[in-house]
């Protein structure tokens, strides 16, 4: 089995740095706006502080492009810290520069465990309160007019709101994405993308309860690729995997909106067919059989063909899901025994095999043939239907 290399960086990791790049550009734009504002209100010292800030963001952006992410992050946080403290001391607490310090809270909280985040959090808290006291004690060192101060406050609080809400949204999106990935890992088969056995059983129990409650039929169909071992042996394991993926896709496409198909094991698939009578399930299985038979397999979708054998069972009120699956499995063995590429419907008394053209109905009681359905009992005639 080929070992796939794990990507060096996770998607969440790249998304984070992409977000940092965007924030760097936006922060530089904010500082350009502040530069213009301070020039307009006649505060050149404050305007030049923003020139330094923009320069720092340009350097940080360059570092991000060179993948020197850590250095870029240190520079960005230094700018935020310096700008917030200087802005507050020069224009006063009422200008709202202090809010930018609060952006350190989420950054600290996601940086490690409780033991490592508490000390910097306490330092931030002390710095915030200390800055408040200092700025109250000294007042603004570069005071602005009342209107300019109000405009500056509204501007700063708006930028802070936008930054805080988009940061929260980013982490929320990351959590949702990771949640989705974990759900997929837990419920899906990685090769075919179909549901896995465990998830199908969960769905089957739900459907079973619904079927009992609403008194509607529930059917199961097991499909098994014929002579799959020979496909692997002759064409290689990768070709076998391709067959599994393409057959899996064909089976998924055969499903109606309320049907489910899962990879049951190696080259076996199980369909869960709610509200489906025994007769409708047999017709369904026959459609699946024909769909796979007509399927061209290979990268060009025409290199070779394969077939599936199917077993069908409709749940009886008194039997468990596992028993019904056992009957479908038994019917599948009958299909294999009868020459493969066919459908066998299990009844409670006997299996009924449908020939390739579905016209011929043969009564095949397991006891009559001496086959009781174990995998070892499956006949394995040679020859793979690999004709192009
Ligand atoms: N390529 C590939 N092969 C697999 C995978 N899982 C199981 N197999 C192979 O599937 C083959 C199943 O072989 P058998 O159980 O003998 O079944 P078969 O050859 O299809 O014979 P019949 O079912 O009787 O028609 C084994 O060789 C397994 O190694 C998989 O994920 N990828």
Q: How far is the CA of 228 from the centre of ligand 1 (A)?
A: 5
Which of 189, 267, 297, 374 is the pocket-test mutation for ligand 1 (most atoms within 8 Å of CB)? 267
Give the pLDDT mean for 142-153. 96
Q: Are residues 42 and 134 in the same domain?
A: yes
- In this predicted structure, what is the pLDDT of residue 351? 59
Q: How far apart are CA 41 and CA 53, in angstroms?
A: 19
Task: Give the model's confidence band at 301: pLDDT under 50 very low, under 70 low, under 90 confident, else very high.
Answer: low
Confirm whether 111 is domain-assigned: yes
Q: What is the CATH number of the domain that holds 339?
A: 3.30.70.270
Q: How do residues 4-38 score in pLDDT, each as one tens digit? A: 444 445 666 788 888 899 999 999 999 999 999 99
Report, in angstroms and rounded to the nearest whole number, the Rg of the chain calculated over CA atoms: 34
Cα–Cα distance for residue pair 18/14, rounded to 1 Å: 6
Residues above pLDDT 70, as percent of the chain? 86
Q: Are residues 133 and 212 in the same domain?
A: no
Q: Tell me, yes or no, whether 32 lies in a domain.
A: yes
pLDDT at 371: 33
In ligand 1, the atom with minimum distance to the C-alpha of 237 is 1
In a shared domain, residues 214 and 146:
no
Answer whether residue 117 shows pLDDT above 80: yes
Nearest CA to ligand 1 atom 13: 229
Total-model pTM? 0.69
Contacts of 262 (CB under 8 A, 6+ apart): 189, 194, 195, 196, 197, 199, 200, 269, 270, 272
Q: Following DSSP, what letter does each residue of 22-40 receive, concatenated?
A: HHHHHHHHHHHHHHHHHHH
Domain housing 336: 197-377
Ligand 1 closest atom vs CA 239: 1
Active-site amino acid positions? 267
Ligand 1 pocket list (CB less than 6 A): 191, 224-230, 232, 237, 240-241, 244, 266-267, 336, 340, 378, 380
Cα separation, 148 vs 144, whole angstroms: 6
- Residue 378 above 90 pLDDT? no
Residues 307 and 268 in one domain: yes
Which residue has the CA at smallest separation from atom 4 of ligand 1?
A: 266
> Which of 157, 187, 217 lies at the terminal end of a domain, its last residue?
187
Instruction: Spell out the alpha helix ranges (H) of the chain.
Output: 11-40, 44-65, 69-91, 104-109, 114-138, 146-187, 197-214, 228-235, 237-254, 278-293, 321-337, 366-369
pLDDT value for 208: 96
Residue 254 confidence (pLDDT): 95
Q: Using the predicted structure, report yes or no on whether residue 383 has a pLDDT greater than 50.
A: no
Same domain, yes or no: 219 and 130: no
Same-domain check for residues 169 and 207: no
What value of ipTM does the predicted structure carry?
A: 0.96
Q: For the chain, first and last CA: distance in Å?
A: 27
348 CA distance to ligand 1 centroid (A)? 29
Q: Whose CA is nearest to atom 21 of ligand 1?
A: 227
* Interval 161-177 mean pLDDT: 93
Q: What are phi and psi of 44, to 5 degrees?
A: -60, -35
Please check whether residues 46 and 175 belong to one and the same domain. yes
pLDDT tens digits along 325-375: 999 999 999 999 999 999 999 977 655 666 554 333 333 333 333 333 333
Distance 301 CA to ligand 1 centre (A): 21
Total domain count, the chain: 2
Residue 304: what pLDDT? 82
Residues 69 and 204 in one domain: no
Residues 138, 246 share a domain:
no
Compare 277 and 347 and report the one with higher pLDDT.
Answer: 277
Predicted local confidence at residue 110, as pLDDT: 87
Residue nearest to atom 29 of ligand 1 (CA): 229
pLDDT in tens, 203-221: 999 999 999 999 999 999 9
DSSP 8-state code for residue 366? H
Report whether 255 contacts 208 (CB < 8 A): no
Q: Identify whether residues 171 and 246 lie together within a single domain.
A: no
2 has pLDDT over 90: no
Q: What residue's CA is closest to ligand 1, atom 28?
A: 229
Q: How far is the CA of 363 from the centre of ligand 1 (A)?
A: 28
Q: Is residue 387 part of a domain?
A: no
3-class state of residue 102 by DSSP: helix
CA–centroid distance, residue 139 to ligand 1 (Å): 80
């Amino acid at each position: 089995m080929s070992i796939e290399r794990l990507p060096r960086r996770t998607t969440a990791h790249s998304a984070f740095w992409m977000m940092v790049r965007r924030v760097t550009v936006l922060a530089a734009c904010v500082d350009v706006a502040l530069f213009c504002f301070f020039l307009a209100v006649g505060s050149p010292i404050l305007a030049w502080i923003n020139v330094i800030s923009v320069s720092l963001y340009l350097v940080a952006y360059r570092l991000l492009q060179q993948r020197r992410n850590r250095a870029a992050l240190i520079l960005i946080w230094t700018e935020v810290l310096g700008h917030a403290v200087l802005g507050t001391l020069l224009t006063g607490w009422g200008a709202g520069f202090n809010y930018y310090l609060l952006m350190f809270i989420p950054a600290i909280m996601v940086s490690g465990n409780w033991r490592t985040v508490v000390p910097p959090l306490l330092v931030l808290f002390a710095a915030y309160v200390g800055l408040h006291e200092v700025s109250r004690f000294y007042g603004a060192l570069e005071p602005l007019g009342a209107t300019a101060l109000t405009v500056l406050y509204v501007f700063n609080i708006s930028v802070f709101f936008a930054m805080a809400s988009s940061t929260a949204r980013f982490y929320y999106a990351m959590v949702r994405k990771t949640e989705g990935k974990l759900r997929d890992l837990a419920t899906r088969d990685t090769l075919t993308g179909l549901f896995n056995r465990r998830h199908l059983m969960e769905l089957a129990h739900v459907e079973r309860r619904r079927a009992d409650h609403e008194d509607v039929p529930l059917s199961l169909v097991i499909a098994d690729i014929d002579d799959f071992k020979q496909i692997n042996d002759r064409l290689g394991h990768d070709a076998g995997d391709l067959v599994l993926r393409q057959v899996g896709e064909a089976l998924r496409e055969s499903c109606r909106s309320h049907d489910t198909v899962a990879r049951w094991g190696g080259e076996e698939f199980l369909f869960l067919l709610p509200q489906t009578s025994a007769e409708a399930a047999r017709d369904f299985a026959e459609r699946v059989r024909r769909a796979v038979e007509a399927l061209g397999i290979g990268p060009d979708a025409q290199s070779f063909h394969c077939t599936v054998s199917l077993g069908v069972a409709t749940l009886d009120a008194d039997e468990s899901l596992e028993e019904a699956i056992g009957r479908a499995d038994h019917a599948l063995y009958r299909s294999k025994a009868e020459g493969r590429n066919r459908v066998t419907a299990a009844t409670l008394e006997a299996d009924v095999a449908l020939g390739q053209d579905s016209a011929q109905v043969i009564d095949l009681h397991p006891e009559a043939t001496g086959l009781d359905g174990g995998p070892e009992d499956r006949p394995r005639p040679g020859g793979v239907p690999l004709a192009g």
